[in-house]
Structure 1
Amino acid sequence: MVTDKAKCTEVKQNFERVLIEDAGAIANKRHVVYGIIQADVTNAKKKIKDWNCTSPTKKLSFTAYIASCIGKVVAKDPHVQGYKVGGCLQQNKIVIFQDVDLVVMIEPEENKTAFPHIIRNVNKKTVEEISKEISEANSRPFSSEQQYDSKKKTRIFTSMPKCLRMLIYRLMRRNPNTLKDMQGTVMLTSIGMFGKKGQGGIGITFLPMHTLGITLGGISRKPWVVPNNNGIEEILPRDILDITVSFDHDVVDGARGARFASALIETIETAILDDETENPNQAEKKM
């Protein structure tokens, strides 16, 4: 008996998807450990909301705030973003960069493949500057150096045989300066949108090249123990952010990773937008 051929549609895979496949193949060969943590972002969200209400032309984003916190914490212990030098003759060398180049994923259009944008020296930028840069990359993708400079090169690269691409990746790992220039030093990604709104959600992603990766999950409203003004602990409803911290265990051991995670939670919960960021309206009141 002959049946009709099933109806289907063939879609050509874009070159960005080829790079994602390569990243997954590389990540499977690494020794990555994961830590799941939670941070109370109630005060941070309120401060950002208040800022945006009084300064509508200079809005701050929550992602920019988290990026700023990551930059501050990594700058205090840059070893967590160190790159292990590849090659059989240099296995014991780790190159540690002082400045933090944070990669964020930008999705300019719905259902379009997100592209990485590197925020250079994020540890030296204000939340306002980071917000502006992310917004610019989102609204004008080709303003990002990763989109403008490498689009044609990436198309050529992904047209090569996979075995040749993997060889090039191995050669890249022998030069951490090249990796920093092309990939940044820390990866920040967010998959919180997959969870049901208000119920949080934990995300675990692969880590192909970077030593440190931060994955933002969802934000849930739940009872949380917090001290009041008198130092007495109370149980109050709070906005809790799920975060997954990923480390290359060949570079960062468990104790150092735990200290980093603890410092990141503390920095996020302090809800200080930035020492150098001041609301223009508040500045006028002080004068």
Structure 2
Amino acid sequence: MELKTNKSIHSERFDLQRRAVSHVTTTSWHDIPHISYIYEPDITDFYNEFKILLNNKINLENKISFNTIMLKVITEGLLKSPDLNSYIEYNHKKTEGMTHIFDEINISVPWLLPNGKMITPTIPRVEKMSLNDISEYISNLTKRIENTNVNEVFYRAVVADTIHELKRFNLSVIRRILASKIGRYRIKGLCGKEKEDYYKIPENERLTEKDIRAGTVTVSNIGSLYKNQKGFFGLLEIIPPQVFAIGIGSIQEKPGVYLNPNGNKEIGIRKILPICLAFDHRAVDFNSLVPFLKRLDEIFAKPNVIHKW
């Protein structure tokens, strides 16, 4: 049988952002043995308490979103499971490895740009932040991203990553360097007056490569992209050298068993939040996830604690 070639509408070569994403995610699936756990907590009471919180803080300049409060919830879980907030170094040939556990929780948050592309800025030191602090930081991120040349940030991040790999004597990056400098589709940063004008913008008013390379854990919220979707993450990539990634879905109504005010079990319509938790099995086992899960269970069962945040 003769094979017919389908005609494409148009073709687009990967730009720098797509090249960076494809490199990182391919490295993730090539190197990391992923373990994925689907967590589906009943957040009915928690969500009701969240609505009360919003009414109490209605005059705040920066509104506290559901995504904001979930970042705080996740931070509380990570404080109980510090092994998950770490980097891994591993040499497959020597079967030697090391885990670097951090006290700073720097959350990388995939961010949708107006042109449909994604960037992953980092919210640093979230463990030190109140809900208002997180909300204010996210609001400021919006302004900084507007002042950012995304291609230039990715270019600087690629350069920094290449230098890091060379310092580790990873000579395989030499091919990457040659392709980026003398290849047909070589990579270029800003130059001339355009570069001069761009770097006049203070770093606290735009993103730098540090903002997309400093994350210790990644939290993706697909619920914010499509609130009415009924599915959930089944698996997502862990961004090396991180060892933990979280994918938050959309709140869904499902039948469930709960305790009524009299302490009796009933069946009713409940709000369920599907969350995918993926970890690098080289660095941690499932037992490292247990304190994280228990802390989230506590918060969802007794959500009054959010008023102290």
**Partner Cα separation in structure 1 for residue 232 and residue 156 of structure 2:** 38
| Cα deviation 1:208-263 (Å, max 9, x = unaligned) | 31111110122211122111223222222111000000011111112222442343
| Cα deviation 1:136-193 (Å, max 9, x = unaligned) | 32354157xxx57x85252266599xxx9598399499xxxx9998231111002236
Residue number among 196, 215, 239 corresponding to 1:208 in the alignment: 239
Residue number among 254, 261, 274 corresponding to 2:293 in the alignment: 261
Match of 1:15 in 2: 16
1:272/1:15 CA distance change after superposition, 3 Å: farther
**One-letter amino acid of the counterpart of residue 133, structure 1:** Y
**Partner Cα separation in structure 1 for residue 81 and residue 20 of structure 2:** 30
| Identity score, percent | 21
Contact 2:83/2:101 (8 A) holds in 1 = yes
Match of 2:65 in 1: 61
Asked whether 1:199 is paired with 2:204, we answer no
Match of 1:188 in 2: 219
**Partner Cα separation in structure 2 for residue 237 and residue 19 of structure 1:** 43
Residue number among 106, 109, 120 corresponding to 1:104 in the alignment: 109
Normalised by the length of structure 1, the TM-score is 0.76
**Partner Cα separation in structure 1 for residue 256 and residue 262 of structure 2:** 17
Describe how 1:65-84 pairs up with structure 2 within 5 A.
Answer: 65-84=69-88
**Partner Cα separation in structure 1 for residue 156 and residue 136 of structure 2:** 31
Match of 1:31 in 2: 33
Unaligned 5+ segments in structure 1 are: 278-287
Match of 1:129 in 2: 133
**One-letter amino acid of the counterpart of residue 70, structure 1:** I
Query: Match of 1:100, SS?
Result: coil
**Partner Cα separation in structure 1 for residue 78 and residue 282 of structure 2:** 18
**Partner Cα separation in structure 2 for residue 95 and residue 159 of structure 1:** 23
Match of 1:154 in 2: 154
Normalised by the length of structure 2, the TM-score is 0.71
Question: C-alpha root-mean-square deviation of aligned residues, in Å?
Answer: 3.6
**One-letter amino acid of the counterpart of residue 154, structure 1:** F
Contact 1:200/1:219 (8 A) holds in 2 = no
Contact 2:217/2:244 (8 A) holds in 1 = yes
**Partner Cα separation in structure 1 for residue 145 and residue 136 of structure 2:** 13
**One-letter amino acid of the counterpart of residue 107, structure 1:** L
**Partner Cα separation in structure 2 for residue 187 and residue 27 of structure 1:** 13
Residue number among 282, 288, 291 corresponding to 1:250 in the alignment: 282
Describe how 1:229-240 pairs up with structure 2 within 5 A.
Answer: 229-240=261-272
Q: CA deviation at 1:134?
A: 1.9
Match of 1:228 in 2: 260
Contact 1:203/1:217 (8 A) holds in 2 = no
**One-letter amino acid of the counterpart of residue 239, structure 2:** P
Query: Match of 2:213, SS?
Result: helix
Q: CA deviation at 1:7?
A: 6.8
1:61/1:47 CA distance change after superposition, 3 Å: same
